[in-house]
Amino acid sequence: MKRNNKGFVIVLVLVVGAVLSIMVAAYSLSVLYRIQIATRYINSTKAYYLGSAGIEYMRYLYYTDPVNSPLSLTFSITPEGDDIINVRREKRDDVMIIEGEARINNVTRVVVCEEEHDPALYNLRRTYFTYGYPKDKARRMPIIKWK
Amino acid sequence: MEIKVKKMNKKGFTLLEVLVASLILAVVGSGIAGVYIMEERLFVRTLHRLEAVNYARGALEKLLALTGGDLEVALKEGDHTDPEICDLPDGHFKERFKGALSYRVDEFKVSEITNAKRIEVIVKWQEKFPKKEDKKESLVTVLSFLEIVMD
């Protein structure tokens, strides 16, 4: 009996150690996952406002000079210059669609503005919505702004 | 040799065995504790970043909702700390971590056309652990000033 006790203690310690290690590893992974989600949310928020900035600037160019304003633009607006904004506009029937795609810290987001089209009246009904990325695989998010 | 092993088993663990086991446990335990502490610190810092971005988002939405004369005053070029836009709610972020919000407006142009404004809302705070460290998060957007131009 005495001879078996030592082996039993070793096995018990190893089993308890293994269980504790798995618990610690699982906890660590869950914390890392939450950090990753939070970081993604932060970058996604930044990308959303950058995409909106692209739309706003394209609208500005269009309404100040409808004839000569560009159909697409690429630029950067953060002081650090770590963002890329691509804006495109096109007209479908009477609706002008402006799409601002912004990328920052490896997160891309697309913001779209659909606007009833009339160069003389800038303040018509506008509908904004946004996508994750890539756009064709992402769910269309609820309308976020209506003016 | 065989007799020695049997003897050792009957007596249980020797002092040397217990010491070696304790040493291994201490090394492994301190490694795990180090990872745990580092992760907790990183997690708390990320929560502060999240909080800062949410405050910045709130301020930016307040700015974008302004119209007419209020908008014109709010978007004068330079640094702003207007209490109506920049006040943070009372709480640990403002008091313990010395959180402060401000925003900067400057002229923005890609082509020769001007009058669009770049707005950068900046939230600054101070991390306390493991050492005091100044941190900053910002949200940047463009407001075209179109309404004022068209009026």
- Taking each helix axis from N to C terminus, what angle separates B15-65 and A2-64, rounded to the nearest 10 degrees? 20
> What residues of chain B, 58 to 87, have a C-beta less than 8 Å from chain A?
60
Please report where in the chains the tokens 């290690």 appear, as a residue.
A21
* A79/chain B closest Cα distance in angstroms: 9
Write out pLDDT tens, residues A58-109. Answer: 888 887 788 888 999 999 999 888 999 999 999 887 788 899 999 999 898 8
Chain centroid, CA A116 distance in Å: 26
The ipTM value here is 0.80
> A21, A22, A42: which to substitute to probe chain B, counting the most B Cβ within 10 Å?
A42
Write out pLDDT tens, residues B88-121. Answer: 999 999 999 999 999 999 988 766 655 688 999 9
Has residue A145 got a pLDDT over 50? no
Task: For residues A133 and A100, give the distance between their C-alpha atoms in angstroms, rounded to a whole number.
Answer: 12
For residue A140, what are its two tokens? 């269309």
Has residue B150 got a pLDDT over 90? no
Has residue B2 got a pLDDT over 70? no
Question: pLDDT class for B147, splitting at 50, 70, 90?
Answer: low
Q: A2–B115: do the CB atoms touch at under 8 Å? A: no
| Residue A58: CB atoms within 10 Å | 27
pTM of the model: 0.81
**Alpha helix ranges (H) inside chain B:** 2-11, 15-65, 68-74, 83-86, 92-95, 146-150
Q: Does B5 touch chain A (CB under 8 A)?
A: no
Q: Does A6 touch chain B (CB under 8 A)?
A: yes
Q: Does A130 touch chain B (CB under 8 A)?
A: no
Q: Does A123 touch chain B (CB under 8 A)?
A: yes
pLDDT number for residue A74: 93
Q: Does A109 touch chain B (CB under 8 A)?
A: no
* Residue numbers in B near A56 (CB within 8 A): 116, 141-144, 146
| Residue B32: CB atoms within 10 Å | 15
Task: For residues A143 and B33, give the distance between their C-alpha atoms in angstroms, rounded to a whole number.
Answer: 46
For residue B60, what are its two tokens? 């930016």
